[in-house]
Amino acid sequence: MPSFLLERRHDGQVAGIDEAGRGPLAGPVVAACVYIPEKFPALKKVKDSKKLDGLTREALFTEITRHCAWGIAIADVGEIDNINILQATFLAMNRAVDAMSLAFNVEPCMYLVDGNQRPKGMESYNVTTVVEGDDKSYSIACASILAKVTRDRVMRELHEAHPQYGWHHNMGYGTPDHMAALNEHGPCAHHRASFAPVRDRLPAPLKHR
């Protein structure tokens, strides 16, 4: 279970950063940055967003955004295809940091980032990477919830325009039903053309774009 142990190692404001949506075949990648104030009411259900059901995530999203400083940002499919998913993830993380700073005037002394890679573009910040950070850091776990809920909402909206892919439940991941729909209908503009399962199903003139 996540705790505040990593945050308490630093003297000053510490924020957590996480993303949702690096692996799917469709839709944006979303990042969130969260700073938790001292008076935040500890929520026992906070943990890695992937280990929570949708209703619990939505309820926690409301509480986190009500009591914390936060920023949420995306990198869209075009950016993912142009600069690759890793760099697009870093771009979304930088945007989330900027969004929190602008909205809440918060300048943390340290950013805890889920994973093992320092985000490009954050060279001027103090950054600590934390493998499986959403299981260790309360701030990262909160960021994971904001990112996951936001991305799921985006995919449900996209589903309304493209119901054949089942994005309201597979969220763009390469599930059997999504792959079957890709085989039957081909990719749409919200698919990641740089990902092999999509690229292999593009018309020949588009495969090398």
Structural domain boundaries in the chain? 5-152, 161-201
pTM for this model (two decimals)? 0.95
Percent of the chain residues past pLDDT 90, beyond the cut: 87
Pick left, alpha or beta for residue 73 (phi over 0 → left; psi -120 to 50 → alpha; otherwise beta). Answer: beta
Residue position matching structure tokens 């945050």: 7
In CATH, the number for domain 5-152 is 3.30.420.10
Determine the Cα–Cα distance for residues 62 and 156; give it in Å rounded to an integer: 18
pLDDT digits (tens, 9 = 90+) for 133-173: 999 999 999 999 999 999 999 999 999 999 999 999 999 99
Tell me what the mean pLDDT of segment 184-207 comes to. Answer: 89
User: Average pLDDT, whole number, for the chain?
Assistant: 94
Structure tokens at 157: 């909206």
Residue position matching structure tokens 């081909």: 186
Determine the Cα–Cα distance for residues 85 and 101; give it in Å rounded to an integer: 24
pLDDT at 203: 84
- Cα of first residue to Cα of last residue in the chain, in angstroms, is 44
The DSSP H or E segment spanning 29 is strand 29-35
Contact present, 182 and 193 (Cβ < 8 Å): no
pLDDT at 48: 73
Instruction: Please provide residue 59's backbone torsions phi and psi, each rounded to the nearest 5 degrees.
Output: -65, -40
Closest CA to 24 of 113, 132, 148: 148
Tell me what the mean pLDDT of segment 4-10 comes to. Answer: 92
Determine the Cα–Cα distance for residues 106 and 69; give it in Å rounded to an integer: 7
Q: Pseudo-torsion of CA 175, 180, 181, 183, nearest 10°?
A: 130
